[in-house]
């Protein structure tokens, strides 16, 4: 735990740097200020899209393809964009037509996203990689009344399908292969990722990856052309192989390992962290597909699954770092409930003391607020006055400068951190 009560910053295990993906990271890493995780996660998401909707694995009646949603989380100075630039430079060289026509920015509506992979306008190439380096704007769009972006994104991750039922300009999408890479800061994520997105399975369709700047390179990197060309040959071979694969399977060793970790991946965990990581099985499965295809293998072997599990552990630790464990003590939950009830008015320290009958010491109140803060369920503001500065606390979904988010009846609230996972949490699990 750090001084703010947050879990330790995640560490990427060496097993995640297996094979061609690992070689790419090790080649690029000395020449960028970005960290290994930022390179790896964005590489896998990018290649998962270039592969297209060909290779798949059937789990519990559902087909899982190689499209990933990745959210890279770090400070504005954490070199998120530098990592993405290295990845995209490589991908653009591999498939210039894809890079020109099938990479988009500017998510704003569900209809717009569907139009980008519409059956009529895109009858042959159904791939789409969405790059959103200001993902906070996407989360803000999700909150607009009538905006279907959230539900469309969920359906495209699940089935690659969707559509509109309007009489004019109807859109029908089937077998689309949509991947998303987003960048956001910890503060923006806590501010704009609302309870609805936590509860309805939107968040757990994303891989969370916390990143940091690892070094200062005043003169930039010095990646030699022959190193990039060596990578290019191997990556091109992997793409050509992957696009000729259909159904994949595990070998006996991988199947044995999967059976051993399955219960752990499927286990329900309470709170925001639990709901944000509830698709562990499906995420690990998709990652293992990409590791195998980069190895030019239509069979998922033990090393591919071990790599996927190692990266998932990093993503899980990232989610824990971002959201906290999400299970509050009884007193902290009582205080959070009261903060949520105040809505856009927020709750002052004096009101908090009154909630506990004036019997709570200042040090005890601070401990409770730190506990709540670690879950990202509430945030504080300070107003400078002529006398003592006024501090008020607001639920994460309450905007003192706008409107409070509303929830459908019966939907989990971020103020309900001690409840179990929603039924949607494992609906698309592997």
- Please check whether residue 401 lies inside any domain of the structure: yes
Which of 284, 309, 325 is the C-terminal boundary of a domain? 325
- What is the rounded average pLDDT of the residues 305-323? 96
Same domain, 297 and 344: no
- Please check whether residue 426 lies inside any domain of the structure: no
Instruction: Residue 360: give the domain boundaries.
Output: 330-374+378-413
Find the range with the poorest average confidence among 119-123, 125-129, 180-184. 119-123
Which of 325, 353, 386 is the C-terminal boundary of a domain? 325
243 vs 424: which has the higher pLDDT? 243
Q: What is the pTM of this model?
A: 0.78
pLDDT of res. 82: 95
Helix (H, G, I), strand (E, B), or coil: what is residue 247? strand
For the chain, the first-to-last Cα distance in angstroms comes to: 32
CA 278 vs CA 247, 310, 366, 372, 399: distances in Å? 25, 17, 31, 21, 27
222 vs 177: which has the higher pLDDT? 177
Q: Is the pLDDT of residue 411 over 60?
A: no
Same domain, 271 and 405: no
Same domain, 187 and 312: yes
- Please check whether residue 220 lies inside any domain of the structure: yes
Per-residue pLDDT band for 407 (boundaries 50, 70, 90) equals: very low
pLDDT of res. 32: 96
- Pairing label, strands 347-348, 390-395: antiparallel
- Please check whether residue 305 lies inside any domain of the structure: yes
261: tokens are 């970790």
What CATH code is carried by the domain that includes residue 395?
A: 1.10.10
pLDDT of res. 51: 96
Which of 300, 325, 350 is the C-terminal boundary of a domain? 325
DSSP string, 70-93: EEEE--TTS-HHHHHHHHHHHHHH
Same domain, 337 and 211: no
Helix (H, G, I), strand (E, B), or coil: what is residue 277? coil
What CATH code is carried by the domain that includes residue 226?
A: 3.40.50.300
- Please check whether residue 425 lies inside any domain of the structure: no
Q: Is the pLDDT of residue 146 over 70?
A: yes
Q: Is the pLDDT of residue 92 over 50?
A: yes
224 vs 387: which has the higher pLDDT? 224
Same domain, 205 and 336: no
Q: Is the pLDDT of residue 403 over 90?
A: no
371 vs 66: which has the higher pLDDT? 66
* 252-288 pLDDT, tens digit each: 999 999 999 999 999 987 778 888 999 999 999 999 9
Into how many domains does the chain fold?
2
- Please check whether residue 430 lies inside any domain of the structure: no
Per-residue pLDDT band for 415 (boundaries 50, 70, 90) equals: low
Q: Is the pLDDT of residue 309 over 90?
A: yes
Query: How many other β-carbons are positioned within 10 Å of the β-carbon of residue 92?
Result: 14
In the numeric block, the tokens 């690029």 are attached to 28
Same domain, 366 and 317: no
- What is the rounded average pLDDT of the residues 378-391? 77
Same domain, 316 and 336: no
**Residue 199 CB contacts under 8 Å (≥ 6 apart), including other chains:** 275, 407, 411, 412, 413, 414, 422, 424
**Residue 294 CB contacts under 8 Å (≥ 6 apart), including other chains:** 19, 20, 21, 47, 235, 238
Same domain, 356 and 311: no
Same domain, 362 and 301: no
Same domain, 237 and 356: no
Contact call for residues 46 and 181 (beta carbons, < 8 A)? yes
pLDDT of res. 425: 31
Same domain, 250 and 369: no
| Average pLDDT in the chain | 87
Same domain, 215 and 130: yes
pLDDT of res. 397: 65
- Pairing label, strands 172-173, 162-163: antiparallel
Q: Is the pLDDT of residue 420 over 70?
A: no
- Please check whether residue 9 lies inside any domain of the structure: no
Q: What is the CA radius of gyration of the chain?
A: 22
Contact call for residues 299 and 57 (beta carbons, < 8 A)? no
* 2-18 pLDDT, tens digit each: 544 557 899 999 999 99
- Please check whether residue 130 lies inside any domain of the structure: yes
Strand partners, 206: 69
Helix (H, G, I), strand (E, B), or coil: what is residue 293? helix
158: tokens are 């699940």
Question: DSSP code of 239?
Answer: H
């Amino acid at each position: 735990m750090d001084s703010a009560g947050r879990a330790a910053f995640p560490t990427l295990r060496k097993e995640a740097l297996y094979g061609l993906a690992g070689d790419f990271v090790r080649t690029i890493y000395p020449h960028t200020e970005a960290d290994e995780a930022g390179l790896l996660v964005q590489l896998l998401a990018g290649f998962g899209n270039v592969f297209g909707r060909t290779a798949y694995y059937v789990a519990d009646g559902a087909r899982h393809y190689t499209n990933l949603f990745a959210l890279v989380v770090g400070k504005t100075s954490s070199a998120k964009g530098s990592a993405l630039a290295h990845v995209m430079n490589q991908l653009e060289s591999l498939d210039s037509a894809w890079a020109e026509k099938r990479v988009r920015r500017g998510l704003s509506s569900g209809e717009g996203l569907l139009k980008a992979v519409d059956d009529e306008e895109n009858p042959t190439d159904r791939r789409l990689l969405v790059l959103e380096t200001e993902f906070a704007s996407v989360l803000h769009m999700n909150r607009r009344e009538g905006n279907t972006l959230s539900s469309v994104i969920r359906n495209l991750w699940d089935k690659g399908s969707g559509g509109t039922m309007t009489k004019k300009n109807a859109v029908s999408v089937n077998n689309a292969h949509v991947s998303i890479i987003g960048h956001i800061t910890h503060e923006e994520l806590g501010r704009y990722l609302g309870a609805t997105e936590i509860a309805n399975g939107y968040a757990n369709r994303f891989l969370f990856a916390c990143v940091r700047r690892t070094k200062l390179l005043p003169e930039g990197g010095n990646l030699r052309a022959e190193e990039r060309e060596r990578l290019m040959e191997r990556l091109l071979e992997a793409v050509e192989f992957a696009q000729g694969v259909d159904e994949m399977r595990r070998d006996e060793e991988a199947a044995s390992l999967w059976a051993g970790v399955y219960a752990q991946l499927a286990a329900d965990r309470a709170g925001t962290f639990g709901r944000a990581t509830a698709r562990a099985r499906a995420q690990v499965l998709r990652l293992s597909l990409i590791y195998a295809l980069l190895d030019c293998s239509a069979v998922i072997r033990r090393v591919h699954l071990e790599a996927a599990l190692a990266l998932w552990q990093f993503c899980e630790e990232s989610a824990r770092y971002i959201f906290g464990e999400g299970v509050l003590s009884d007193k902290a939950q009582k205080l959070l409930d009261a903060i949520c009830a105040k809505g856009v008015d927020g709750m002052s320290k004096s009101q908090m003391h009154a909630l506990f009958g004036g019997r709570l010491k200042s040090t005890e109140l601070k401990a409770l607020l730190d506990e709540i803060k670690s879950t990202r369920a509430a945030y504080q503001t300070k107003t400078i006055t002529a006398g003592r500065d006024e501090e008020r606390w607001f639920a994460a979904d309450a905007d003192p400068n706008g409107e409070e988010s509303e929830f459908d009846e019966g939907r989990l609230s971020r103020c309900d951190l001690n409840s179990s996972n929603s039924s949607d949490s494992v609906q698309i699990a592997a």
